[in-house]
Chains A and B, each alone.
Chain A
Amino acid sequence: MKECNDYDLVNEPGHMERHYWEDLWRFRELFFVLALRDIAVRYKQTIIGVLWAVIRPFLTMVVFTVIFGRLAKLPSDGGTPYALLVFAALLPWTLFSNALSESSNSLIINSNLIGKVYFPRMIIPAASVVTAFIDFFISFIILIGMMIYYQFVPTWHILLLPCFIILALTASLGPGLWITALNVKYRDFRYIIPFVVQFGLYISPVGFSSQIVPDKWRLLYSLNPMVGVIDGFRWCILGGESLIYVPGFILSLAIITCFLWLGVYRFRKMEKTFADLI
């Protein structure tokens, strides 16, 4: 073992590299280049291009406002317009679901790279999340437009929004890493993700306020980590009327952290075999 120290790189079975995180930093340019590639390619050869990032969440918002706000007459948080309530939740949800689907398919899509070059594999799912982030920024413009339309002035809470953006990304990256690694071995997960995303839209408080959930169930409801993230977004954007349910939020945080750790751990475990299995 002592001999290994004389060498820069060692490749042997079950050998977790000591310099993994350092390596990840060394390859940061690859991260940017891959992210740039995904962004550059995303809306190539489409007619309305980047408008797709605006249209989809906007139409979803309209439909949810009509169904949950007008037809089902669910209450909003205080005097907040229902459309704003929906859109403030739709933003993190779209970010989360896009990031999750992009990252969980990322290894399969980039299989040609994995078989032919070495780099810390975590760069691929991490870079794929960036496109979701860009889409998020573009649809953020709609939110600003809506705020002007409703003449809604945000409070200082909005300054904390970046923290919750990071939280939403973290929430997707944890499961995303795990699933993309599993996807290499078992392609079943490719079919699971669209289902999970569709399902999650209804069990997360996107079309309605989480305050309508009875108090005794709220902690249980917060087992869905997106509940904490969405509540946080509403708290930032809509101000004082949308309250964060603190025990639930802490639970969501714990679950997100737990998933992130699990994702990274499982990913690292399987990483070395990707080239053989993909």
Chain B
Amino acid sequence: MSDIVIKAENLGKKYTIGHQAERAYNTNFREVLMRGMRSLWHKTKGFAKGEPVIQGDSMEEFWALKNVSFEIRQGEAMGIIGRNGAGKSTLLKVLSRITEPATGRVMIRGRVASLLEVGTGFHPELTGRENIFLNGTILGMTRGEIKRKFDEIVAFAEVSQFIDTPVKRYSSGMYVRLAFSVAAHLESEILIVDEVLAVGDIKFQRKCIGKMSDVSGQGRTVLFVSHNMGAVEQLCSSAILLIDGRISSRSKNVLSVIKDYVFVNDSNNFSCCWENPGTSEFDNDYFKPLRFFFSDKDGREISQMPIRNDHDIWINIVGEVKKMDPALYFGIGVFTETETFLFGSMFFDGHPNVWPEVKIGINTLKCRLPKHTLNEGVYKIEIHGGLLNKEFYFFPGTNNPKIFLEIKGGLSESPLWLEKRLGLFAPVLEWTN
């Protein structure tokens, strides 16, 4: 047979969830008693039939996974992406046999190590040494294997000094490092990893990503769930996007799947123009964004994407300043489609003499994005702002007003430069003798 190591056929997983009906506040004792009796009767009936106890007045069936089929070949590193609640973790649970699917089946060839949580089974009272053995065994290593790798694990975690101290005395960073380190030394043909890279400080995170790419470099199969699009792009050779428990796209081209994800994530407002929906979502005491759009040098709004890169693009923020504060600032942040924060720019970036005027009432501020700066591709531009060194009202990467810019063509006047270049930026720099 072929080199398919994981084969999922038509997987489905159903949960039943209970809803609590809304209660009136002034219920009397008799009503409470009656409700208690009714609920007791239902639960007893459920017990007789062997149904689980679900708190609530009405039940709803909910498919966490539906019709999920895919095949993974030996040595493939597959990323699974999707927003919270899309079924990623459920899928991993089914794949690692923690839970049973409601429909379909999954078939696996080889030893599976799944890492759905850092430090599963760590006991606070036990020492680092004891916990390495405990956690390693839980993850499926044999005693001999752990012994052999013990020094390596301790060194990687950088905790050799405290190895005989109970882990409850560890700092949270040490704890997490030790836990990841055990998992990183698993030797299995298939590795299933859920979002564990989001731990530790930046330095350690980098070390983890390095370790993960070693793993996939060794011809082992990796399944990787993360919200860190950069890590997915770096580690994975293919990706699937889950939306509401279904596979929405799957491709060897990781970037295109990530693009789908970023698009879908913002499906309701993926456009090159943003307008305040009139809700209180973006309200604060000082500054309320009203419109956010692109325009050309003559101030004409750009409503069609993609656009060429041989003209300057103006980014316009129309907003109402409700209260003045010397610390009040706002500006933009530019992100790639993998959610990498490229750069930010605030209206106070230049010399104070050239700052635009900001007054109480409605202001329009424009920011010039010089031609030949960005590469071809899709960029997300967010409004950022707040009170300088005091408070963020629009923190980078959170739910901010955003517009999308798609650049295609016009990268340079050079006849040898017709298409997208490698690298994030594509500036046309000056060359002389």
Residues on A facing B (Cβ under 8 Å)? 3-4, 6-15, 29-30, 33-34, 37, 40-41, 44-45, 110, 112-119, 185-187, 272-273, 275-277
8 A-B pairs closest in CB distance: A12-B105, A7-B107, A272-B100, A118-B97, A275-B99, A9-B108, A33-B137, A116-B120
A116 in contact with B117 given A40-B126, A40-B130 (CB within 8 Å): yes
A118 in contact with B96 given A11-B101, A33-B134, A45-B125 (CB within 8 Å): yes
- B377 CB to closest chain A CB (Å) equals 38
Contact of B94 with A186 in the complex, beta carbons under 8 Å: no
Contact of A8 with B109 in the complex, beta carbons under 8 Å: yes
Q: List 26 A-B contacts (CB under 8 A).
A: A3-B107, A4-B105, A8-B109, A11-B108, A12-B100, A12-B101, A12-B106, A13-B103, A29-B137, A29-B142, A29-B143, A30-B138, A33-B133, A33-B138, A34-B134, A40-B130, A41-B125, A41-B126, A115-B93, A115-B98, A117-B120, A118-B96, A186-B47, A275-B93, A276-B15, A276-B99
A23 to B62, CA, bound (A): 32
Contact of A186 with B104 in the complex, beta carbons under 8 Å: no
**Interface residue? B86 (CB, 8 A):** no
Contact of B125 with A10 in the complex, beta carbons under 8 Å: no
Residue of chain A at shortest CB distance from B189: A8
- Within 8 Å CB of B134, what residues of A? 33-34, 37
**Other CB < 8 Å A-B pairs besides A8-B110, A11-B95, 5 of them?**
A13-B101, A37-B123, A37-B130, A119-B138, A276-B15
A118 in contact with B114 given A13-B100, A13-B101 (CB within 8 Å): yes
Residues on B facing A (Cβ under 8 Å)? 1, 7, 15, 47, 52-53, 93-110, 112, 114, 116-117, 120-121, 123, 125-126, 130, 133-134, 137-140, 142-143
- B424 CB to closest chain A CB (Å) equals 37
Contact of A117 with B100 in the complex, beta carbons under 8 Å: no
A231 to B130, CA, bound (A): 41
- Contact check: which of A8, A10, A277 meets B52 at CB < 8 Å? A277
- Within 8 Å CB of B123, what residues of A? 37, 41
- Within 8 Å CB of B108, what residues of A? 7-11
- Within 8 Å CB of B7, what residues of A? 7
- A269 CB to closest chain B CB (Å) equals 9
Residue of chain B at shortest CB distance from A9: B108
- Within 8 Å CB of A4, what residues of B? 105, 107
A10 in contact with B107 given A37-B126, A113-B120, A186-B47 (CB within 8 Å): yes
Contact of A9 with B125 in the complex, beta carbons under 8 Å: no
A45 to B130, CA, bound (A): 17
A273 to B13, CA, bound (A): 12
Q: Which of A116, A187, A273 has the most CB of B within 10 A?
A: A116
A9 in contact with B100 given A40-B130, A112-B120 (CB within 8 Å): no
Contact of B94 with A11 in the complex, beta carbons under 8 Å: yes
- A274 CB to closest chain B CB (Å) equals 8
- Within 8 Å CB of A11, what residues of B? 94-95, 97, 100-101, 105-106, 108
Contact of B98 with A10 in the complex, beta carbons under 8 Å: no
- Contact check: which of A8, A44, A117 meets B139 at CB < 8 Å? A117
A117 to B121, CA, bound (A): 10
A44 to B126, CA, bound (A): 9
- Within 8 Å CB of A44, what residues of B? 125
A14 to B133, CA, bound (A): 33
Contact of B52 with A185 in the complex, beta carbons under 8 Å: yes
- Within 8 Å CB of B133, what residues of A? 33
A7 to B106, CA, bound (A): 10
Residue of chain B at shortest CB distance from A30: B137
Residue of chain A at shortest CB distance from B97: A118
- Within 8 Å CB of B101, what residues of A? 11-13
A178 to B97, CA, bound (A): 22
Residue of chain B at shortest CB distance from A271: B100
Residue of chain A at shortest CB distance from B110: A8
Residue of chain B at shortest CB distance from A113: B121
- A57 CB to closest chain B CB (Å) equals 25
Residue of chain A at shortest CB distance from B117: A116
- Within 8 Å CB of B104, what residues of A? 12
A142 to B263, CA, bound (A): 72
- Within 8 Å CB of A12, what residues of B? 100-101, 104-106
A6 to B2, CA, bound (A): 10
- Within 8 Å CB of B102, what residues of A? 13
- Within 8 Å CB of A37, what residues of B? 123, 126, 130, 134
